[in-house]
Structure 1
Amino acid sequence: MSQPVMVASTLQAPTVPDSRWIYLDNVRQKKGPFTDEESFDASGEAVSAMEKMKLLVIGAGGLGCEILKDLALSGFKDIHVIDMDTIDVSNLNRQFLFRQSDVGKSKAEVAARFVEKRVKGVSITPHNCKIQDKDDEFYMQFNIVICGLDSIEARRWINSTLVDLVDNENPESLKPLIDGGTEGFKGQSRVIFPTMTSCIECQLDMHAPRAAVPLCTLATIPRQPEHCIEWAHIMAWEQEKPFPKLDNDDPEHITWLYKKALARAQEFNISGVTYSLTQGVVKNIIPAIASTNAIIAASCCNEAFKIATSTNPSLGFEENYMMYSGNDSIYTYTFKHEKKDDCPVCGNIARNMEIDPNFTLEEFIESLAARPEAQLKKPSIRSEQKTIYMQSPESLELKTRPNLVKKMGELVEDGEEIGVSDPSLGSVNFKYRLRFSKPFKSH
């Protein structure tokens, strides 16, 4: 008996929808009770447009790892991540994309490859550098920017950069900024539409600057490991100058400070000085724990999904700020943070500042660091008439240094407007109208 001949079928099997995204399509393609009918599109084209969106995640630490994973599982296919740090063993307890074998490698690169391996079809492009290393053209390519940062300075820089990108003639120049932040069992997420809503600089007074420790405490009676680190940072570094300029992101510099602080702590029988703590104090890193990171990352990615799909109203124009607290139980509160007309980034008027005209310029500069709406570290100052003091370049610093001992009343007029800038904050330029609080004594 002859054997049956097997003939290959010319018919193709029907395309089976990827079951991974069924739950997403229920949201993306069906109207809900809060869906905006004017902007919502349930067609396959809208889903395809969302998948083609290009998102930027800034930070690949505890919060950034969670954000990358959540975005990939939310249907976004083209994601970039930027982080200049390498993986430290202390990261492994909460930055779950990393393993022991990854210590010393780039956070951005390892995180990108891990998520790509686990979520098929997503493309994540890593950038192992500072956000300041990228130009405007780089940021213009993204549809949404999401921050998972532990630094106020970095937030302020990207905020001012995105505000500067806005061109009223080009709607695509407006890049929604979603910012997440955590500290212990507390966290926040917020949505910013640059120039249209309250920006990070408008909200800066919600981030109180770290209280300064008196120099006498650092020099004579340190009581905490942080005091020893600050002593190494402020005093020992200035005395010994082991490198021409301190770079908070250089492991060799942090190691020098750590060893100095550790020796100081041993001298006063103080325990607790570690490399990680040294890095945290010097860079003013905000502490975080894994569960809070997961909750805040979920909130940030939920906002990105809502902006991309219009399935639900996002934080932004009305209630734009969500606060979370998990200290005693789970509590959230959402409110509207108002845009400020005198914001140095997105506002258009100068802030009034009352000063003692008998203060020296040096005293005035020191007072700027303590102001919650400014928090400047190396400010340069110009008046309407002249340059008063420039921190850099060195030639201008030398030229304007004699002004430091002069009284403010000698340098500016009552009611005069000044501009204050700081190199770490990009294009931010604070405008203050100075009002004398008392008569100026010229002699």
Structure 2
Amino acid sequence: MTEQTTLLDQERWEGIYKLMEHPSMLTPDCTEEPEKLKTFLHSMKILVIGAGGLGCEVLKDLALSGFTDIHVIDLDTIDISNLNRQFLFTEKDTGRPKAEVAAEFVNKRVEGCHVTPYVGNIKDKPITFYHQFDMVISGLDSVDARRWMNATLVDIARDGQIIPFIDGGSEGFSGQVRVILPTVNACYECGMILIPPPVTFPMCTIASNPRVPEHCVEWSLLEFPKAHDGRKPDGDKEEDVLWCLKCASERAEKYKIEGVDFKLTLGVIKHVIPAIASTNSIIAAMCVNEAMKIAMNALSLDNYCQYSGAEQPYTNTFEFSKNETCLVCADISSEIEVRKDAQFDEIMTKLKENPEYQMKNPSIQLPGGIPLYMRALAQTHDNLQKPVGDLFESGTELAVTDPVFPQGMFLRLKVKFSNDE
């Protein structure tokens, strides 16, 4: 710790230091000297994933809590619709990368704190990139991205480096925070069975029997490519949203359905749940509070906190137990059972639709690395319609990879045949 930093600390983080210098319920097992804790606090290298509504709050809280080596990664650019809740941005920043603008704002505002921005997708970074951090705080709005980050940190933990993963999320007036110590307690994947798969509507319902306004908007999304040379609608382009709104409104009028408006149309296109600024602020504060506990060698959340503010501010904290059959951290084979004469496509369907797996685009190999199905390998596509009994024997352990897993990670899937009846 430099002399300049020490002088800044005494003025800016005096309140934080009091927590370190005086024994309290916050640090019942702390045996470190206060000066060592201060040094650790200021030297911790923290990665914040996402600079959106939650990420902006997390960055602000970290910077004002004494963390001085902060890194942030985000692939999005600033849109005018972000400004009501992402307070690190202004109208003049529209179109610029969120990570860069957020870093510039905090670096200018909080002397002694340095935020390093990265513009891009977390999946594009090599695993060595994540080895450098002491802690990761997630402000993601994607289940897939969370699963990937969780699996990556579990993979790193198996090499002997445990990087705490603090995951925050908000949906309207509700939110949650969990503290994941990879391979030690329940990981994100352990709770996948409690996360419902994305809502989809049957094509026949959308096409011939729409009943709710969402069906009408989904119809407009199917019609959009036909009128725009195969291009999909972009929720960040107002003209695309307006086109879909007009199409959906005409559809709704035909079937006497009410409720189609701009907000609903935009929400369906972008799969958006309205963000509440106050919820983001509360969840971010919880995340940074847990980061402070870890930095101070105190007892952190064990390990899940649910916030419900729809009717009244309420939090429920509980321990989420490890799933002994978790696809990521249990390191065991998963088993499924199918009929011997079932088409191989049935296994693909189970991997995509079963709440325990929720995969996106699995590729499957036989023992020895023989490809059974790979999207990029056209000669394997015929296997989807073949009976599984013609492809392998009962009890065969298949290797399954998917975009939700980091590169090099796979699921060992043992397939057993049920008896014909």
TM class by shorter-chain length? 0.7 to 0.9
Partner of 1:303: 290
Structure 1 residue 412: deviation in Å? 3.3
Residues 405, 233 of structure 1: CA spacing in aligned structure 2 closer, same or farther, 3 A cutoff? farther
Partner of 1:293: 280
How well do the aligned residues superpose, as a CA RMSD in angstroms? 2.9
Structure 1 residue 437: deviation in Å? 3.8
Residues 89, 83 of structure 1: CA spacing in aligned structure 2 closer, same or farther, 3 A cutoff? same
Residues 19, 137 of structure 1: CA spacing in aligned structure 2 closer, same or farther, 3 A cutoff? same
Residues 92, 265 of structure 1: CA spacing in aligned structure 2 closer, same or farther, 3 A cutoff? same
Q: 2:13 aligns with which of 10, 21, 26?
A: 21
Please list every run of 5 or more consecutive structure 2 residues that lacks an aligned counterpart in the other structure: 1-6
Partner of 1:8: none
**Cα deviation digits, residues 98-129 of structure 1 (max 9, x gap):** 22222212111111122223222211111111
1:110-129 aligned at under 5 Å gives the runs 110-129=101-120
Partner of 1:389: 373
1:215-294 aligned at under 5 Å gives the runs 215-224=203-212, 226-231=214-219, 233=221, 237=225, 242=230, 258=241, 261-268=244-251, 269=253, 272=260, 274=262, 278=266, 281=268, 284-294=271-281
1:82 match: secondary structure = strand
Query: For the Cα contact (< 8 Å) 1:151–1:285, is it kept in 2?
Result: no
Q: Which moved more, 1:70-79 or 1:331-340?
A: 331-340
Residues 17, 91 of structure 1: CA spacing in aligned structure 2 closer, same or farther, 3 A cutoff? closer
Structure 1 residue 260: deviation in Å? 5.7
Partner of 2:80: 89
Partner of 2:27: 35
Structure 1 residue 401: deviation in Å? 0.9
1:80 aligns with 2:71: yes
2:380 match: secondary structure = helix
Q: Distance in 1 between matches of 2:416 and 2:8?
A: 71
2:324 match: secondary structure = coil
One-letter amino acid of the structure 2 residue matched with residue 211 of structure 1: V
Partner of 1:421: 401
Q: Distance in 2 between matches of 1:261 and 1:357?
A: 45
Residues 275, 34 of structure 1: CA spacing in aligned structure 2 closer, same or farther, 3 A cutoff? closer
Q: Distance in 2 between matches of 1:27 and 1:58?
A: 27
Q: Distance in 2 between matches of 1:106 and 1:263?
A: 31
Residues 166, 335 of structure 1: CA spacing in aligned structure 2 closer, same or farther, 3 A cutoff? same
Residues 110, 165 of structure 1: CA spacing in aligned structure 2 closer, same or farther, 3 A cutoff? same
Partner of 1:403: 383
Structure 1 residue 307: deviation in Å? 0.3
TM-score, normalised relative to structure 2 = 0.87
Residues 31, 435 of structure 1: CA spacing in aligned structure 2 closer, same or farther, 3 A cutoff? same
Partner of 2:180: 192
**Cα deviation digits, residues 206-228 of structure 1 (max 9, x gap):** 21112320101222344555434
Residues 162, 117 of structure 1: CA spacing in aligned structure 2 closer, same or farther, 3 A cutoff? same
Please list every run of 5 or more consecutive structure 1 residues that lacks an aligned counterpart in the other structure: 1-14
Structure 1 residue 370: deviation in Å? 1.6
Q: Distance in 1 between matches of 2:132 and 2:335?
A: 38
Structure 1 residue 352: deviation in Å? 2.3
Partner of 1:7: none
Q: Distance in 1 between matches of 2:33 and 2:402?
A: 47
Report how many aligned residue pairs link the two structures: 409
Structure with higher Rg: it is: 1
Structure 1 residue 67: deviation in Å? 0.4
Query: For the Cα contact (< 8 Å) 1:151–1:286, is it kept in 2?
Result: no
Residues 415, 76 of structure 1: CA spacing in aligned structure 2 closer, same or farther, 3 A cutoff? same
Q: Distance in 2 between matches of 1:76 and 1:296?
A: 18
**Cα deviation digits, residues 174-222 of structure 1 (max 9, x gap):** 2111000111111111111112221111111121112320101222344
One-letter amino acid of the structure 2 residue matched with residue 267 of structure 1: E
1:436 aligns with 2:420: no
**Cα deviation digits, residues 255-297 of structure 1 (max 9, x gap):** 796466334313314764659954x545644442111111111
Q: Distance in 1 between matches of 2:296 and 2:138?
A: 20
Partner of 1:140: 131
Residues 256, 416 of structure 1: CA spacing in aligned structure 2 closer, same or farther, 3 A cutoff? farther
1:325 aligns with 2:301: no
Q: 1:150 aligns with which of 116, 131, 141?
A: 141
TM-score, normalised relative to structure 1 = 0.83
Q: 1:98 aligns with which of 89, 92, 96?
A: 89
Structure 1 residue 234: deviation in Å? 5.7
Residues 108, 16 of structure 1: CA spacing in aligned structure 2 closer, same or farther, 3 A cutoff? closer
